[in-house]
Amino acid sequence: MHSQQDPPLRFTVEAVDRETAARAGRFVTPHGEVETPAFMPVGTLATVKGLTIDQLQSARVQMVLANTYHLALRPGAEVVAQLGGLHRFMAWPKPILTDSGGFQVFSLAKLTKLNDTGVVFRSHLDGSPLELTPERAVEIQELLGADLIMCLDECPPHGLDRDRIRQAVDRTTAWAERCRRAQRRGDQALLGIVQGGTDPELRQRSAEALVGLDFPAYAVGGLSVGESPTEMYTTLDVTVPHLPAGKLRYLMGVGRPEDLVEAVCRGIDLFDCVMPTRNGRNAMAFTSAGTLRLRNRQYQLDERPLDERCACVVCERHTRAYIRHLFLVNEMLGAILVSWHNVAYYQQLLRELREAVRAGEGGEFRRLQLARWAGNS
């Protein structure tokens, strides 16, 4: 049971791979523990699109992510707080992470005005202003009540000039200090976010400044924003060594199954991405043998499950032919089933990778799995 004296996040590295920088561990929060490496489905508006809580639990999801910016607009953080906080509001009993709204500074750039004070959004719904400062971002997340909360950061798009990226790094550090000072609740772990584009020196500058603020865990942001996979991996190679070995490392907004495997082998512990559900709604299934585009005619008479190595409910019950039919007749069940499978598959992939790391075979797992995907591409 969590007591007042417990830190809001206790992370333990339990095994380190013999060949790579992969590690297996666990962290404990007020709403339970999570085995790492772990993947969080994205529940932007306090729901993982199309899936019930029971479906998430059957997929063995350990933790979900929700979004500060979107929940601040609808229904409002104060409303969620009055209804008992995010866990009670969405009936999810396990850990939750809320992002700070920093990614929306990037993704909704045309609707933002940014300066050292913070960012003002024109709501993508009705154009009304929403001001997000470091202090307000923390306040909103304290009202929502997630277990892990994020500092407000500036996420620069790929390809900006170096001076502009350095400005984003320094603003992110200044905002992190303000978030640290603004925090009031003792039962939430606040994470600092390392920025710096693909510039090794700026990544080091950002990491060292944030480590100096002694956060309970650290995130790597500003990747999967237009750079190539190779650039992402190289950036992780030069960033992760500057983060404390004994603290949780979270790579934000990534990604494809191969990206998860490569990032774990570079020392990352936690991930989130919309791909399992977004692609699921668009008839793309992720499997241990690669991706399936289920609208394709080749699946019309295919009686196999989506993935013969997957033990999820969808693969136990339904054929590729049936699921293809659902998409062709615009039945909403198709999107639900493939989203459900994809979320379960991501959980299975990281579970298998955890087990491989515990056995000291993370490097071998990476070789075999990448070869399996490549052989079926």
| Sequential DSSP letters for 196-260 | -TT-HHHHHHHHHHHHTTT-SEEEE-S-SSS--HHHHHHHHHHHGGGS-TTSEEEETTB--HHHH
Q: Please say whether the beta carbons of 288 and 315 come within 8 A.
A: no
**How far, CA to CA in Å, does 19 sit from each of 236, 239, 240?**
17, 19, 16
How far is residue 54's CA from residue 82's CA, in Å, rounded to a whole number? Answer: 25
Alpha-carbon gap, residue 175 to 195, rounded angstroms: 12
Task: Kindly provide the residue ranges of all beta strands, DSSP E only, lying in the chain, ordered along the sequence.
Answer: 10-16, 23-29, 32-36, 38-41, 64-67, 96-99, 112-114, 119-122, 129-132, 148-150, 189-194, 217-220, 248-251, 270-273, 284-287, 290-293
Which residues are known catalytic residues? 99, 272
Structural tokens at position 97: 């992470």
